Structure 1
Amino acid sequence: MSNLEDMGIDMSRRNPVPRPLTDSERQRLDEFIDSIHYSTRYSDNEYEYRHVQLPKAMLKAIPVEYHDKSKGTLKLLWEEEWRAMGITQSLGWEHYEVHEPEPHILLFKRPLNYQPPAQ
C-alpha cells in the first residue's frame, strides 16, 4: 500500500477494501461499457496519465458505496472496482483523482515505463 501513497493517492478517499459488484449491479453497468471514452496518454517526468470519461447516466447505476457524498463524486476506486465496472486498461494504472466539476471523468496515472511484476 505504501506504493500507492508514494504515488500521492489519498487512501482515505477509497473504500477500506475493494467492494465487489453483485451480478445485478454488473448487469446494470454492462449497457454503458461501449460508451466509455479513453483519452490518449500524456506524461510528465514521473508518470503517464489518461482520463476515462464515463457516460453521465452511468453514474446513477454505480453502487452508492462507490460514491463520496461529501464531494459529490465517485470515491477513488480500487483496480478491482473500476475493472468490474467495465473500464479496461493495461496493468499498472491507478485511479488517483476525480475531476470534481465533471464527476464522470476519472483520472488515472502510472509510473513512466511501468513494467508489470514478473509472474
Structure 2
Amino acid sequence: MSTPEEMGIDMSRRNPSPRPLTDGERARLEEYIEAIHYSTRYNDDEYEYRHVQLPKAMLKAIPADYHDKNKGTLKLLWEEEWRAMGITQSLGWEHYEVHEPEPHILLFKRPLNYQPS
C-alpha cells in the first residue's frame, strides 16, 4: 500500500493531523451532502483518478482551518476530514489536489488495482 508521500502528495498542504469536525460544523454541512457530485473514474498507468465536485455554497460552510488562505482553496484533506464532510468513496482514495480555478472541485487518486490491507 502506498503512503501519501509515495503518491506525491504535498503533506505541507494538509493540517498537521486530521482535525475532526464538531457536531455543529457537521450539521452545517448536512444540507449539501446530497448535492455532492462524483466523476467517473479514469486512470493512467499508475493511478486511478476521480474528482469530487462540492456545491459551491458548501465551501462557505466548511471550517476556516480546512482552507488554505494562501491559495484560496481548501487544504489537502485527510481521509477523516473529507469523510466527515460527507464525501463517500471506497477505500484507498487520497485527496491530492484542488482545481484552483474551481476550488469546489477536489481531485483524488489511488493506486491502480488498490486492495485494502
Q: Structure 1 length normalisation: TM-score?
A: 0.96
SS in 2 for 1:4: coil
- The equivalent of 1:66 in structure 2 is 66
1:31 corresponds to 2:18: no
Show structure 2 runs of 5+ residues with no match: none
Following superposition, the deviation at residue 7 of structure 1 comes to 0.1
Identity of paired residues, percent? 86
RMSD (CA atoms): 0.7
> How far apart are the structure 1 equivalents of 2:36 and 2:4?
25
Distance across 2 between alignment mates of 1:84 and 1:4: 19
Check if 1:97 corresponds to 2:97: yes
Q: Distance in 2 between matches of 1:90 and 1:30?
A: 20
Q: How many residues align?
A: 116
* Equivalent residue, structure 2, for 1:75: 75
Q: Displaced runs of 4+ in structure 1, greater than 6 A?
A: none
| 2:55 aligned partner, one-letter code | P
Report the Cα distance in structure 1 between the residues aligned to 2:40 and 2:3, rounded to whole angstroms: 25
**Structure 1 unaligned residues grouped into runs of 5+:** none
